[in-house]
Amino acid sequence: MENLIRLLGDGRFHSGEELGSALGVSRAAVWKKLKALSDLGLELDAVRGKGYRLPSGVELLDRSRIDKEIPDKIKDDVAIDLRMLTSSTNDDVRSIEGDARWRVCMAEYQSGGRGRRGRVWQSPFGASLYFSMLWNVESGLAAMEGLSLAVGLTVLKTLESSGVSGLTLKWPNDVLMDGRKLAGVLLEISGDPTGSCEVVIGVGINLVLGPEQKKKIDQPVTDVKTAAGMSISKNKIAGRLIANLSSMLSTFQGYGFAPYREQWSQYDAFAGRPVVLYIGANTIAGISVGVNDSGAVLIKNDAGTSSYAGGEISLREL
C-alpha cells in the first residue's frame, strides 16, 4: 500500500499495467489496493486510456526530512513515531517508550481522530497533519491554564514561517483563514490534578483537502494549499512544529500563558466583535474584548466584563 501511494504521489497518471509491474502484482490486485485507498478517503482520478492518479499528489511523512527542521540541540530530546494507519495519534503517543523529554506521534490516517467537545476529527489519508506530542507536567492542572491558546499561537506561527499568511485565532484553540478552520488543537490531560500530570497535545492541520473531503466536515474549512496558494511540505511543517512547540512549552512551564497574551491578542479573530458564548444549555452575548493572563476569554455586556475559561464552552460570532 505504501509503495502504491508513493507511485501515485507524483500526481501523474499511471496505468494499471504500469502499477502492477512496479509492485510485482496483478492488475486485479492493483484494483483492490486502489479501492482500499478510496476507502481511506483518498480522492482518486480514474480515466480510461490514462490510468489512475492522485490529483493533488501525496507527500508521505519522512523522518529524515522532518529532522532537517529540528535544531540539533533538541534532537536527542525528541522521540518520533511515524505511522501509516492508526486509530488515534493521541492514544499512540502514550505508548512511545524511552526517556525522551518530548514524544511525538504522527500518522497519515486516523480511523478514530477526536476533536473538541466529543466531535470526530475527519482524517482522510494524507490530507492533513495528524500530530500528537506528550508532555509530562509536575505542577498540576493550574500550571496549564491557557495552554491550548499558546499551542494554537505556536501552530499559527509555524504556518506563518512556512509561507502561510492572513491567519487568525479563534478562542480557545482554532486557527482560521477567512473565517474557515485551518487547524485545531485538542488537549487530553490525565493524572493528579494537583501534582504529576500527563498532557497529550493533539494538533490537526488541514494540508490539501479535496471537494468531497470538505463536504464531510460539518463546518467551514480550508487548507494550507488554498491559504498559501501553493503546496507546502508536510514534513517541513511537522519538523518546525516539533521545534516550536518544544521551545514554547519550555517557556510556558516557567511563566504560563502571560508572555503569549499580547501576541495571541494580535491574531484574535473576534476582538471587538459581537459574540455569543455557549456554556452547556446557557448562552451569554456580548462584545469579545480579548483574553486575560490565564487565557480566559473576556466578554463585555450590560452586566460588565466577565471572564470564562475552558471546559464545555463554545465561542461564536453573533
The 3-state DSSP composition of the chain as helix, strand, coil percent (nearest 5) reads 35, 30, 35
Is 236 catalytic? The answer is no
Asked if residues 235 and 66 have their Cβ atoms less than 8 Å apart, the reply is yes
Q: Are strands 45-47 and 51-53 parallel, antiparallel or unpaired?
A: antiparallel
C-alpha 40/C-alpha 85 separation (Å) is 9
pLDDT for 187 equals 93
pLDDT for 259 equals 96
C-alpha 306/C-alpha 267 separation (Å) is 21
Q: Give the residues of the chain that fall short of pLDDT 50.
A: none
Cell numbers found for residue 33 = 489496493
Residue whose C-alpha is closest to residue 85's, from 41, 19, 31, 26: 41
CATH topology for 2-53 is: Arc Repressor Mutant, subunit A (1.10.10)
C-alpha distances out from residue 202 to 33, 41, 213, 282, Å: 30, 21, 21, 28
CATH number of 63-265: 3.30.930.10
Catalytic residue among 101, 116, 180, 225: 116
The CATH class given to the 270-317 domain equals: mainly beta
Is 181 catalytic? The answer is yes
Cell numbers found for residue 206 = 488541514
Q: Taking CA 169 as the corner, what is the angle to CA 168 and CA 174, rounded to the nearest 5 degrees?
A: 125
pLDDT for 4 equals 86
Is 53 catalytic? The answer is no
C-alpha 262/C-alpha 69 separation (Å) is 27
C-alpha 213/C-alpha 262 separation (Å) is 35
User: How many other C-beta atoms lie within 10 A of the C-beta of residue 73?
Assistant: 8
C-alpha 35/C-alpha 26 separation (Å) is 14
- pTM assigned to the model: 0.88
pLDDT for 89 equals 93
Catalytic residue among 181, 214, 240, 261: 181
pLDDT for 116 equals 52
**48-65: pLDDT as tens digits:** 888 888 776 678 899 999
HSE-CB at 19 with a 13 A cutoff on CA atoms is 26
User: How many other C-beta atoms lie within 10 A of the C-beta of residue 47?
Assistant: 9
Would you list the domain boundaries of the chain? 2-53, 63-265, 270-317
C-alpha 170/C-alpha 278 separation (Å) is 14
pLDDT for 56 equals 66
- Count the residues in the chain: 318
| Three-state secondary-structure class, residue 215 | helix
